[in-house]
Structures are given as C-alpha cells and as structure tokens.
Amino acid sequence: MDIRRTLATEAIAREAAVAAHNYHPLPVVLQSGRGEWLTDVDGKRYLDMMSAYSAVSHGHAHPRLVRALTEQAQRVSVTSRAYHTDTLAPFLEKLVQLTGLDRALPASGGAESVETAIKAARRWGYRIKGIAKDRAEIVVARGNFHGRTTTIIGFSTEAAYRDGFGPFTPGFRHFEFGDADSLAAAIDDNTCAVLIEPIQGEAGIIVPPDGFLRAARRLCDERKVLLILDEIQSGLGRTGRWFAFQHEGIRPDGLILGKALGGGLLPVSCFVATEELMSVFDPGSHGSTFGGNPLAAAVALEALQVIEDEGLVVRSAVLGAHLLQRLQAVDSPLIRAARGRGLWVGVDLDPARVSARAVVERMAEHGVLSKETHDTVIRFAPPLTIARASLDYGIDVFVEVLRRFER
Ligand SMILES: *Cc1c(COP(=O)(O)O)cnc(C)c1O
C-alpha cells in the first residue's frame, strides 16, 4: 500500500470526524475532474456514470462554462434582487423560450424552487380557483422525491426521510404514481395542484406507463387543477428531450428545474410558469438572496446554450437508447429489470441474490462510479457529453463485476 493510499484513508477519517453523517459515501476521495472522468488523490481515474444526480450533465469543468463563470466573477457576482442586473433577462428569456412558458423565478438549490411552486400553487388556489382559506391541497405521488425541507419531506412516503422530523405541513394528498384512476380519485374541489416527477428518479428511475402524463394533463384541465412538474432531474436533456413532458406532447402550468441548470458549477434552480400562475407573486411575497444572481445567471445561460450548441439532447436520446439496449441485453439472474429514458437508466437487482451497494462498491474499485438507490437499483446517468467509447467501457465494467457476483 503506497503512501498516497494512506492519505486517502486519512482524508476519509478526517471527514468522518467533523462532517455530519447524513451521507454514506463510497470510499473514494475525488480531487479533480474533466468531462466524464474524475481523478482521486491517488491519481486513480474513474468514469463518472452518476454525474452528481444529473447536476453534471455537461461533464466536469466544461471549458465554456468555466470561462462564463470566471469572466462573470471578475465583473460582478452577487448584487441581490434589490437592483436590476444585465444578466437576469438573457437567462430567463432563454428559459421561457425553451419551456414554452411565460415567466421564471430563480433560486439556488432545487428544494427552494419546489417551495416556490408550492407557494404559487396555493395562492393560485385561493385567488384564482377560489378555494376557502387554508384549505388548498396539493396531490403528490407515492414514492416522490422533491427535496429535503421540512414541508417537502412532510409529504414524502419514505420513512428514512421523515423519521423524527415532524410535525409536518398539512395540505398534501397521495396517489399511486403512474395510475390515472388513483390520481382522479385523489383530486377534489380543494385540490389546487398535482405535483409530480415525470419519471421518478430517487424511487428507482420509475417510468410511468405511456399516456400517464397526458391523462394527468386532461384530469387537471377538467378539474381546474394545476399540473406542476418537478423536472429538476429529468429536465434539460436527461431523458432525450429538453423536458420529459415533451415525450407526451403536453405543457405543464408550472415547471421546476435545477441540477444541470448550474452547469455542474453552481446551484441554480428555477420555477417557470404560465402568466396566470406566476401572477400570484407580488413584491414582498417571495424571494431568495442568491436567486438569479449575476454569476448564477451567466453560468445558467451558458449551460443552456451549451446543451443547444453541442446537441446534447439528441446525444442523450441516441446514446441513451444504446445504453438501455445494452443493459436490457445483459442475461443475468441477478437483474430483475433495466428501465429508463435517455441517458438515465436504472438496473433493478434481485436483493435476495446481491446488494446494489456491494456492486457499486466493486464497480468503484474497478474505476466506474455509480450509486445505488433504494438498496436494489443501480443508476446509470453519465454526463450527456460522455464519449460513446467511455459509455461502453462503463457498461463493460458493470457487466464484468456482475458476473463475479453470479459465481
Ligand atoms: C435533487 C432533486 C430535488 C432537490 O434538489 P436540491 O438541489 O437537492 O435541493 C428535487 N426534486 C428532484 C426530482 C430532484 O431530483
């Protein structure tokens, strides 16, 4: 064991001594990254098949994004929304154009924009739909993941996210994800919005049946309910379209974006909505100190432009089809299913035979980084910029690791 390996062990021990233990990281100490490749403190290279839960869709240290960041940082970075800036309009114009919606409200972390959506939906419920004071309800899916604030975990169905954190915010009701009848039954006169992920990420990359989003759109129209989509993970090319809702030819009333919007450099999120929905906000009703700051706006605009200029949406569709086809072709008794859309695939393993965590740890030893979700699912969500040869290498390593567990 060489001295640098000792340093990695030491780095892990130091972190464990002072950091809260709210994560269970793989034993890898990363130091630098470029494109789809990361390097640890030993100089060992890893293929990134996780891209920070889609936050690094552009790959690490994309030159155009690093340039946009450093150039803007030398001008001005944070001014607050107490003043106008020359960076906010170009960013939001681009977002409005791409989404087909009318207005946008930027924030930093994704959960902040989920909170924005919840506030907007409730006010719309009272002021436009006419729901009685404090009676508005939002219908959400079982197995949802929308972030970690106390309000958001209050409507999670995951015990680990909730345990010990109550009391929770009322006003949420559940339905079975992907089941239009269940959704119809959950909606009543006090429902202001349906809030869903078009594909459930943290739940294990669950793709609903074809037509589900269209059915949800129809139900919302019939019952005068908003359809709000959380595309923090599924948006910006991840599923092979700019937005997952485009697979079904619908338009939501509100859309939540984050993760890749920051180009892998900064936390940038946004709530984008129709004129009518966004009209509920007036000065003083909502805000965020760092939301839409010049640095974030410059990087986010460039992040959108890079996706467009480099054809990353089509790339995700083409390479994603290849990824899914290869993973579905793996003939292994350990695999129950491989599913996904675009460069976003989950492989569901049989927990009676193998633990997803063990597979992911072995893959890391062999230089491929992934992450398990829900004990049984391994996610494959590389940067959309990944080279085809790198993608094939990552799949090869996964298959080889899996074969060893079969024995
Ligand atoms: C990651 C994620 C969030 C939360 O975003 P943060 O930046 O971690 O606050 C919300 N919704 C979905 C679908 C996500 O994937």
- Domain ranges across the chain: 3-61+311-406, 76-309
**230 among known catalytic residues:** yes
Structure tokens at 243: 């937005």
Measured in Å, residue 272 CA sits from the centre of ligand 1 at 15
CA of 108 to the centre of ligand 1 (A): 11
Question: No. of H helices and E strands in the chain?
Answer: 14, 15
For a mutational test of ligand 1's pocket, the pick from 259, 271, 290, 379, i.e. the residue with the most ligand atoms closer than 8 A to its C-beta, is 259
Average pLDDT over residues 170-196: 98
Is the per-residue pLDDT at 1 higher than 90? no
Say if ligand 1 is within 6 A of residue 147 CB.
yes
Could you tell me the distance, in angstroms and rounded to a whole number, from the CA of residue 231 to the centre of ligand 1? 9
Q: What is the pLDDT of residues 23-35, one digit of tens each?
A: 999 999 999 999 9
d(CA 160, CA 150): 13
Residues 242-283 have pLDDT tens digits of: 999 999 999 999 999 999 999 999 999 999 999 999 999 999
Tally of CA atoms within 13 A in the half-sphere of 339 that contains its CB: 15
In the residue annotation, 348 being an active-site residue is answered as no
What is the model's pLDDT at position 4? 54
Averaged pLDDT, 190-217:
98
Between the CA of 4 and the centroid of ligand 1 the distance, in Å, is 35
What local confidence, expressed as pLDDT, does residue 375 receive?
Answer: 87
Chain position carrying tokens 């595309």: 231
Residue 337 has pLDDT above 60, yes or no: yes
24's CB contacts (< 8 A; 6+ apart) are none
* Residue 129 is a catalytic residue: no
CATH class of the domain defined by 76-309: alpha beta
Is the domain spanning 3-61+311-406 CATH 3.90.1150.10? The answer is: yes
Q: Which atom of ligand 1 lies nearest, measured to the CA of 233?
A: 15
pTM of the model: 0.98
